A and B are shown apart, each in its own frame.
Chain A
Amino acid sequence: MRHISLNERYHMFSEAASSYEDKKLTFSLSDDIVATGFTASAGSRILEGHRPVYDSTVSARMRAAGGSLIGKTNMDEFGIGMFSVTGTDIPKNPFDLARSCGGPCGGAACAASLLDGHVALATSAGGGISVPASFCGVLGLTPTHGRISRHGLIDSVSSMGPIGIMATNADLLRRYLKVISSGDPNDPVSAAQPDLVLGKSKLKAVAVPNGITDLVSTGVREAFDRSVGTLRDMSVDVEYVDIPELDYSMSAHYILATAETALNLATYCGMRVGQQSGDMSLPFDDYFTSFRTKYFGTGVKKRIVAGTYMTLGDNRNELYMRSLGIRRLVMSRYEEILSEYDAILTPSTPITAPTFDEVSGIRYTDEYLTGRFAVPPVFCGLPCLSVPCGYPDGVPAGLQFTAARWNEDVLTDAAAAWEKAFDIKAPEASL
């Protein structure tokens, strides 16, 4: 089958179904979303071979809507990374095999790009949808935190990380957002949401943060500036505004995301799930340490060490609690701006997809800052949309719209309008 042949070349799936019914909608799940019949390792060796016995809510809803799950997609280990190079396998960019798909859910973007009419569901604790959607040239919708049930998600960051959708057109986003949304008793956060209403809003006015392209590559800047012109041609009012508060997001996000990761990953210790074949004669502290040392990757260990530090002693108030207050401040500013405009417009990423050689040389802080535009909306639980907006040097650049809480409607309208105004290119996939 085509998805298997493509997988041999592009490595988008960690596990692929051997077959599926013709003419059915195909969908995939990033490897941190569980489904019966498939393993779920969240890209980590510590969960290698883990075979859940229940369906996540999104998987059950997609299957009930007639979807055929054709694979679990490769991702950075536990969603930690910006280039999808730290998981159990490395997906290759559909536009250039020597380049990264972006991360953490790069396999999902790759699958959405290469498979006709495919819906790829993935998670975003800090850019996991906008970054790979941008690098792979597909549409990526990150819904409001709480819009989609996270029941069945192998979670590393509890207060962020909604499940979202990547696909090649706005109609797929709109149709399957409806399918997977609505409250779920198994995820109380999702139960508090208002009804999803689509088809009522229109994108009329967007705000662009002043200086937003100061720290981006030339290709991204040129694509972004052309996009502003295209939006004006579409009769969208584009205004430049000061939003310095967005700059506060990255530091506070790092503190909260690492602290939550350290806490959530404490559960993986060689008992109950995943790897469990250790020396039972060891004292329990040594037993737990031996598993975590052996099976966690370097990036995950680094996050756990950083996150543990964030809540130790005085750091709890000086770093962790302070970051929660910063999040409230940034959310308030977003709310203020989005009461005047339908969306805030930024590039999706400051760069286009780097080559794997370039990735290996990127400094830790610079890797994190690849999410400088994709992180703030997720940090504040807001919905955002990435669409392709140019192809500097033959690889895609992305444009990101961030909307007010629960206003996915304006984003699906923006997606539909954008795909009429901009010529979205498909990669020339070879087998």
Chain B
Amino acid sequence: MDLLTVKRVAGIAHIDLTEEELKLFENDLSEIFDLLKAVNNTPVEDPPCFDPADAYGALREDVPVVYGNADEMLKSMSMYNGFVRGPKIV
């Protein structure tokens, strides 16, 4: 993973890296990507396992509930006139 790729991917992930971090990440990630090359030569089996519990579709009933502690939860958020504050969009 070269320096430019590290920088580009970090940007996509909304992270600015210092020059020192860029060099460290380039070195460490290149090293571990050498280890990851093994996946290209490894056999695979279907179906892909997204979750080892294989509990697809095990959902609770879709019943609306009133969350008891909503007011308490809002106390820990930065609020303005009853709305959660966020940065400007336009």
Contacts and interface: CB of A to CB of B under 8 A. Distances in A.
Interface stretch (A166-174, A291-299, A341-349, A384-392): A291-299
A304 B32 contact: no
Contacts of B49: 324-325, 327-328, 331
Contacts of A329: 42-45
Interface string A306-339: 1011001000001101111111110110000000
A322 B39 CA distance: 7
Interface in A346-402: 363-365, 368, 379-382
A189 B51 contact: yes
Interface string B38-80: 1110111111111111010011100000000100110011100
Interface string B1-36: 100011001101111110001001100110110011
Chain B, interface residues (CB within 8 Å), range:
35 or more
Given A160-B52, A309-B9, A298 B32 contact: no
Interface residues of A, number: 76
B43 to A, nearest CB: 6
Given A292-B14, A305-B6, A326-B44, A271 B84 contact: yes
Given A53-B72, A284-B87, A305-B10, A248 B28 contact: no
Nearest to A144: B53
Interface centre among B25, B28, B43, B50 (most CB of A within 10 A): B28
Nearest to B68: A54
B76 to A, nearest CB: 6
Chain B binding surface SS class: loop
B86 interface: yes
Contacts of B13: 262, 266, 292, 304-305, 308
A145 B13 CA distance: 29
A106 B73 CA distance: 30
Nearest to A280: B87
Interface of A: 50-51, 53-54, 144-146, 158-160, 185-186, 188-189, 191-192, 247-248, 250-252, 254-255, 262, 266, 269-273, 276-278, 280-289, 292-293, 296, 298, 301-302, 304-306, 308-309, 312, 318-319, 321-329, 331-332, 363-365, 368, 379-382
Please provide the 4 A-B residue pairs with the shortest distance between their CB atoms, ordered closest to farther: A381-B52, A325-B44, A324-B48, A287-B87
27 contacts: A51-B76, A189-B58, A191-B55, A191-B60, A248-B38, A248-B42, A250-B35, A270-B87, A277-B78, A284-B86, A289-B14, A292-B14, A298-B24, A305-B25, A306-B32, A309-B9, A312-B9, A322-B39, A325-B46, A327-B52, A328-B44, A328-B47, A329-B43, A331-B49, A365-B35, A368-B32, A381-B52
